[in-house]
Structure 1
Amino acid sequence: MNSTSGSGGMPLHNKMLIGFLIGTLAGLAANFFVADAGWLNGLITYVADPIGQLFLRLLFMLVIPLVFSALVLGVVEIGDPASLGRIGLKTLVWILAVTAIAVLIGLVAVNLFQPGRGIDPVVAQSLLAASSDRATEIASAREGVSGIQVLLNIVPRNPVEAAASGDLIAVMFFALMFGIAATALRTPGTRSFVAAVQGVYDICLKLIGWVIALAPYAVAALLFSITARLGVDVLIQLARFVGTVIAALGVHFLIVIPILLWIFGRMSPLAFFRGAQPALLTAFSTSSSSATLPTTLKVTVENLGVPRRVARFVCTLGATANMNGTALFEGITVLFLAQFFGIELGMGQQGLVLVLCILGGIGAAGVPGGSLPVIAMILVMFGIPPEGIGLILGVDRLLDMCRTVVNIGGDMAGSVVIGRSEPAEAPDTALDAALADTHTGPV
């Protein structure tokens, strides 16, 4: 993800920081001086909450087309293993395995450090009742559903009904099946369909850009509502959340990836980080996998010694589909807000969060806040008030920079591992031809 500038030239993340500060300071002042005033409750109910709700509704509006188009294009990008040979299959395995490890680390970190605990349960329940009627309805509707039924519900009877009811995992399964079938077929009609899906994806990115431009105002409104009710306690929870995310990203980036490089890539982690440094610094400064891609390709080939055909495929695909850091962040965010609002998620539900975050990382939108629609829908699926996203947006700039580094590091590490497993004499021409036929998604 990257930052855009508004019409006045100020970067979006600066505007969001200003909104965060204004909303937080105004909310704290209201909590301290006029907490019991009737007009304050009216201001929250009729001004601040509707502004935040409008922002969230705009995000929900984009969930289904974004997830469907991103997953279809992500699968098509990976391509048919029969056409791409070993590299396509190895890349798919790397993406799924490493992303699963990243999300699992995030879930373990949240359960271990409990960053969302500490809010008075009575206050948390009042927030839950006041701000998320729909989430409460969904939570009660999910009670009593057996594990077998959850498994069966992955396959939708009616994908349109699943989309209308917000059953995100069923929509994801349908999109994956569509993508696989589109990859298997090489007909003019299929290529036209994929081109149309690409258009839907591009439109979603544009709309998300417009919606996220409203984020500074939504952040101010949402933070005012929460801090006016909770006071300074919310800032303590927020600091613990940031610490948990950074710690989990650090474990994945500094421990898991080096181990994978050492075992499967036969490369010294120190040599990897030394060679990858230009791309990692670019990723940290831009917060954009797409903007870093030219540097990533150059560094992977020249500094890390990966064959050009492997680097071009794995890194280009990874810029849109291999989002280890983003998936980890999504998992932590969902569980943190569940803890914050006093909602208990069992191991089965956390396993479902794991799957949703893995799939949500494939084709994640490369724009500011591109993962927010997926996070918001996952929150609603588990009865967690999506208004809590306002908390996250206020500190998202630093976390965005950190998780982009993890995303790029995972792409380059995957290139090294896959490159080491490939025969040196394999020609580029066959793969180039397959890529020309397969790469219809965003690159």
Structure 2
Amino acid sequence: MARKKLPLHTQMAIGFAVGLFGGLIVHFFAADTQWLQLLTTYVTQPVGQIFLRLLFMLVIPLLFSALVMGVAEMGDIRSLGRVGWKALVYTVIVSSIAVALGMIMVNVFNPGGGVDPELANRLLEEGAGRAQGIVDSARTSGTGMQLLVQIVPDNVFRAAASNDILAVMFFALMFGIGLVLTNTPGAARVKGVVQGLFDIAMTLINLVIRFAPWAVACLVFNLAALFGWELLIRLGAYVAVVVGALAIHQFVVYPLVLRVAGGMSPRVFFRSIQEAMVMAFSTASSNATLPTALKVAEEELKLPRKVSRFVLTIGATANQNGTALFEGVTVLFLAQFFGVDLSLTQQFVVMLVCILGGIGTAGVPAGSLPVIAMICGMVGVPPEGIGIILGVDRFLDMCRTTLNVSGDLVAAVVVSRGESDEEPIHVDMDGNRLA
């Protein structure tokens, strides 16, 4: 009798555990040895990076094709509008709860008041170079109306080449609307081509995902071997507040939303999305986890694919509750550390900007750091202070990405309620049925 193969999420969990404990043991016994540097430089880091680059290589074609097909399969503009508004309302409400929760906890526990100044100065020195690069990035990324204008690409190929996910998503949204409104044989053939692109991207991603357990082990080993337990204890109070707020949102807020608005058992939901959660935690990237999330939504949660494709592809960039929460906590933590007393009005402004930041932040590792630098500059907190948190950001990035991806899947469940996967009836912008 053939042995039953372990599920992929179990294999990834095993890879994560092996990488973590192996890295901690090596860090304890051989932290500064040359062979460890050679191992991380020439084996574990390249393997993990190649895996991530393979995923990122396929993100643009997958995101474009999935969003176009998600819109095209709506069948009419009214269905698209209904689903879009439901997704937007969900994002704003749940992101607001996340940011408020984080800011309440950072005000109650005051983690910035207990940091050793000497340790903070050392952390600032260690992260000075990278922090300055992030600050410069924040200054050149555009704000306000300029950022809104930049969502509309003047050259979609340049936007794709520069990994401008929001601009690519805007083009895909417009392209999908065009397919809905164009009832010609040529448009039908284009729709078939886009569906074929989606199928090919998913096939290639399924091949890449087979190597996930090995890549996860290498990524986590590299992290643990280089940083050891310092990853969790250098800024213990700050880490505890962030992780605590993320945990409350994940295991209290989301279950309530699932019960009340989604009509689904939280136990069934979390059991079904284990694979996506492990992938999100391991890669620290919503975009890299998108293929797994799409697979889980259709195969495990049995959601209508037209809704799951639309909500999840949009959500990978525009529905990041964990990122919004993290940004609010970090800005207030840095304000506490530098002795900047923020009024309730200033904290409310921080909250609003964090909600918008959670919508517009790139779904890649450390994508929220430029946004934090920008917010710090707005409220008089030294932006270079982000150098303090760089040592623990990777771990917190893994945690908040898990919340982001879980939130996208919760949104897909909520928005799918009342929607069906039946063949759509195509109508034009005036509501007239197309032949």
- For the criterion TM > 0.5, the same-fold answer is yes
**Structure 2 partner of 1:410:** 414
**Structure 2 partner of 1:248:** 249
Partner letter of residue 290 of structure 1?
E
1:38 CA displacement: 3.2
**Structure 2 partner of 1:163:** 160
1:89 CA displacement: 3.6
Q: Judge conservation of contact 1:69–1:200 (CA < 8 Å) in 2.
A: yes
1:47 CA displacement: 2.2
Change (3 A) 1:202 1:376: farther
CA distance in 1, matches of 2:410, 2:155: 37
1:160 CA displacement: 0.7
| 2:316 equivalent to 1:320 | no
Change (3 A) 1:246 1:406: farther
**Structure 2 partner of 1:31:** 27
**Structure 1 partner of 2:322:** 332
**Structure 2 partner of 1:426:** none
CA distance in 1, matches of 2:125, 2:310: 37
Change (3 A) 1:53 1:141: same
- 1:398-431 per-residue CA deviation (whole Å, 9 max, x = no partner) reads x79965873565146x42xx89xxxxxxxxxxx9
CA distance in 1, matches of 2:241, 2:214: 24
Change (3 A) 1:347 1:403: closer
- 1:221-266 per-residue CA deviation (whole Å, 9 max, x = no partner) reads 222222223222435678876654442134544555677x6xxxxx
- 1:191-225 per-residue CA deviation (whole Å, 9 max, x = no partner) reads 22122111112222222222222222222222222
Name the count of aligned residue pairs: 358
| 106-115 or 187-196: bigger deviation | 106-115
CA distance in 1, matches of 2:70, 2:190: 14
**Structure 1 partner of 2:297:** 289
CA distance in 2, matches of 1:39, 1:202: 43
Q: Judge conservation of contact 1:48–1:222 (CA < 8 Å) in 2.
A: yes
Partner letter of residue 177 of structure 1?
M
**Structure 1 partner of 2:91:** 99
**Structure 2 partner of 1:218:** 215
1:291 CA displacement: 2.9
CA distance in 2, matches of 1:390, 1:212: 22
**Structure 1 partner of 2:65:** 69
The alignment partner of 1:78 has SS state of: coil
1:148 CA displacement: 3.3
CA distance in 2, matches of 1:248, 1:319: 22
**RMSD (CA atoms):** 4.8
1:179 CA displacement: 1.5
1:165 CA displacement: 1.0
Q: Judge conservation of contact 1:103–1:331 (CA < 8 Å) in 2.
A: yes
CA distance in 2, matches of 1:331, 1:377: 15
Change (3 A) 1:153 1:351: farther
CA distance in 2, matches of 1:66, 1:350: 28
- 1:338-369 per-residue CA deviation (whole Å, 9 max, x = no partner) reads 989x999x778745543347xx9xxxxxxxxx
CA distance in 2, matches of 1:410, 1:289: 12
Q: Judge conservation of contact 1:334–1:375 (CA < 8 Å) in 2.
A: no
Partner letter of residue 64 of structure 2?
F
CA distance in 2, matches of 1:234, 1:377: 16
CA distance in 2, matches of 1:177, 1:103: 26
| 2:11 equivalent to 1:15 | yes
- Aligned identity (percent) is 32
1:151 CA displacement: 2.2
**Structure 2 partner of 1:355:** 359
**Structure 2 partner of 1:45:** 41
Partner letter of residue 37 of structure 1?
T
1:181 CA displacement: 1.7
Change (3 A) 1:255 1:233: same
Change (3 A) 1:73 1:158: same
Q: Judge conservation of contact 2:72–2:179 (CA < 8 Å) in 1.
A: yes
**TM-score, normalising length from structure 2?**
0.64
1:61 CA displacement: 0.7
Change (3 A) 1:75 1:107: farther
**Structure 2 partner of 1:302:** none
Q: Judge conservation of contact 2:321–2:407 (CA < 8 Å) in 1.
A: no
**Structure 2 partner of 1:428:** none
Change (3 A) 1:335 1:317: same
Change (3 A) 1:67 1:11: same
**TM-score, normalising length from structure 1?**
0.63
Change (3 A) 1:202 1:228: same
**Structure 1 partner of 2:425:** 434
CA distance in 2, matches of 1:72, 1:136: 38
CA distance in 2, matches of 1:434, 1:319: 19
CA distance in 2, matches of 1:30, 1:139: 34
Aligned partner of 1:177 among 174, 179, 184:
174
CA distance in 2, matches of 1:219, 1:153: 35
Change (3 A) 1:156 1:191: same
CA distance in 2, matches of 1:124, 1:207: 42
Change (3 A) 1:71 1:26: same
1:434 CA displacement: 0.8
**Structure 2 partner of 1:151:** 148
